[in-house]
Structure formats: structure tokens, C-alpha cells
Amino acid sequence: MSETIKPVINIDDIDYMDFGDGGKFQAKLGMIGPLIGAKKLGYNITRLQPGKAAFPYHLHHNIEEMFFIIEGEGVLRFDGKEYPIKKGDVIAGPTGHGTAHQIRNTADAELVFLAVSTLETPDVAEYPDSGKYAVICGDLAGGDPSKATFRIVAKKDAGVGYFDGESE
């Protein structure tokens, strides 16, 4: 571990970046993993304002996630059901079908949680509401999938045949 990286950081000392589409998907993300020298786990603090979610309803085929609610209240949508969540709750986001999940802030105050995930690649994520999928592989830059070596997001019905476009 580099001497410039300390293995501990306080969440009040994290820089937050805006994330989302500016509509119902809007969050402040504080990436922690790279700051504390994490190699195999991604860590971030997610801050959601009332009525917002950070990510669409999705599942992962290779990345497992865990969430710890630090403050606030909201709803976990998991495998088609909704569960109320509050400060102190621990949430599992296992891999595979039947594990689609999303955290939404349904309260009048900010919802803050720690998100921890494995950084296994490649990962395929599915988005049941929109019929999309994402393939993410390579260096995940400490947990930020937008900085992966290879990333594609497409509609599941937009595929082509295995030999399409091949000349030899």
C-alpha cells in the first residue's frame, strides 16, 4: 500500500460527485475505495434527496453488493417486492436472477448509505424495467463502472447473430 494512502477515512472528509440523469435518478456519490487502498472491493457513500434513486432497478450476474443505511428512510425494491428501510439496516444484493434491486428515498429527509461491492469482472447487469443490459469488464477504477476498460449498455432485443459482419 502506498504511503500516501491511509487505510481509514471519515465520511465527512469525502468529496462527493453528482451522479444521475438529473430527474428521478440523482445522487451524490463519495468514492471511498481508491482513497483507502481497496483492491477487490468497491466502497462508496451514496446520498439521496427525497424522491430520488441513484440507479435503475437492476441485477448483477457477477458483482455482489451490500448496503448499510447510515441515516434516513426509504424503500428497497427487491425481486418485485418492496421493503421499508431505515437507519441501521443491512441489505444484501446477491448475484443472479431473482435479485434485482433498487434503493429509493421515499422520506422527507436525505437518505445516506454505504455501498460495498465486489469488483469481479466481467459483470453483466440486467435492467428489468427497460429491457437493457450492461457488460462491464477490465479495471473498474476502484468501483466506478463508468471508468471500466470495456463497457456497453444496450437493449436486449438489439442483438445480432454470432457471425454477422464476419468476412473470414
Give the chain's domains with CATH numbers: 11-119 (2.60.120.10)
- Largest Cα–Cα distance in the chain? 60
The pLDDT of residue 143 is 59
Residue by residue, pLDDT tens for the chain (168 residues) are 455 789 999 999 999 999 999 999 999 999 999 899 988 899 999 999 999 999 999 999 999 999 999 999 999 999 999 999 999 999 999 999 999 999 999 999 999 999 999 988 899 999 999 999 999 888 765 556 667 888 899 999 888 888 888 988
> What are φ and ψ of residue 146, in 5° steps?
-70, -15
Residue 36 has what DSSP assignment? H
What DSSP assignment string belongs to 57-101?
SBEESS--EEEEEEE-EEEEEETTEEEEEETT-EEEE-SSTT--E
Q: Which residues pair with 126 in a beta bridge?
A: 59, 133
The pLDDT of residue 5 is 84
Can you give the pTM of this predicted structure? 0.90
